Amino acid sequence: MGSVKDLEILKEPTENETGIGRFHFSDRYSVFDWGEMPDHIPEKGSSIALLSAYFFEKLKEEGLQTHYLGLIEDDSVKNLSELKGPSSVMQIRLLRVLKPPLKGDSYDYSLYKSVRGNFLIPLEIIYRNSLPEGSSVFKRLKSGQLKLEDIGLTEMPEPGQRLARPIYDVSTKLEVTDRYINWAEAQEIAALSDAEVRELRDIAHRINQLITEEFEKIGLRNEDGKIELGFDPERRMILVDVLGTLDECRFTYRGLQVSKEIARIYYRKTDWYAEVEEAKRKDRMNWKALVKTPPPPLPERLKELISFAYQRCTNDITGRQWFPEVPTISEIMDEIKGYIS
């Protein structure tokens, strides 16, 4: 079980053949790498499944290879247009997940030098069109982990700053607490060729453009987001996991966050968050055991408003009213403003 979705394996992947699985999207959510939080966001799972399916189907039309096979209804695999109602189960092709072993205080990625294909690339690729408040870039610049020249800037950015050109960032994917790395280290640990790094960045750029264009149509800005990729058995790059949702991306509406970031903003004001940050500074590997305070639940009305945001975006992007009687995004955000301002 994952923190927000469960994986059902119908057929195990092998070295030479992809498997088949199903994502069961839940209403659970996670912030700050904590795992499952104490309450659930109603209709979040089906909202994410439908919205991600929409983008997978768009990318298929553009000739991009993905692991998406369809959504499940009446135990049949269907495209979005064939569904009678919302689905929270997605059928996918499965790749192998080859976890690097932990040796002392670091991970050994040498196994990636000897495998050809059919595995998840152990990286998460992040695109950034702006630097909204709360972006990790500010913390990394302040600590010296990141330099201005690394992201093509000459002076310290301000929260909310739009970028002239997108930044393509990268982090590890399979470590206990993932960490941002530079592209040279990313290429080294994943054993990628120069051409594969260029292809990976090109795919991220194409996806960024698609998501940006689609959300602009409904009045939202695509601030940043993440994608994951793998290699099929012939070592062709394939898009995996989920994309274009309010969990994977940060969107804004008239400067207000419209994503899981709403919950992050709320929790940053709590004593629990302060304890989490202190624990991470003390022990990157075992920080969670140091946190003695459990996260508090969200206020009931805020939880309902976040649910509405997920549902409204899915309705508007797909052009179909999967979830009836949901307020407009303007009405939702006007009320959310009182909780996060």
Give residue 230's domain range: 5-340
Neighbour count for residue 1 (Cβ, 10 Å) = 11
Tokens of residue 157, six digits: 């950015």
How high is the pLDDT of residue 2?
62
How high is the pLDDT of residue 147?
86
pLDDT in tens, 180-189: 999 999 999 9
Residue ranges of the chain with pLDDT lower than 50?
Answer: none
pLDDT in tens, 211-226: 999 999 999 999 999 9
Distance CA 207, CA 203 (A): 6
Report the domain count for the chain.
Answer: 1
How high is the pLDDT of residue 133?
75
CATH code at position 155: 3.30.470.20
Q: Length of the chain in residues, anyone?
A: 341
Distance CA 98, CA 190 (A): 11
252: Cβ contacts below 8 Å, ≥ 6 apart: 132, 220, 221, 223, 258
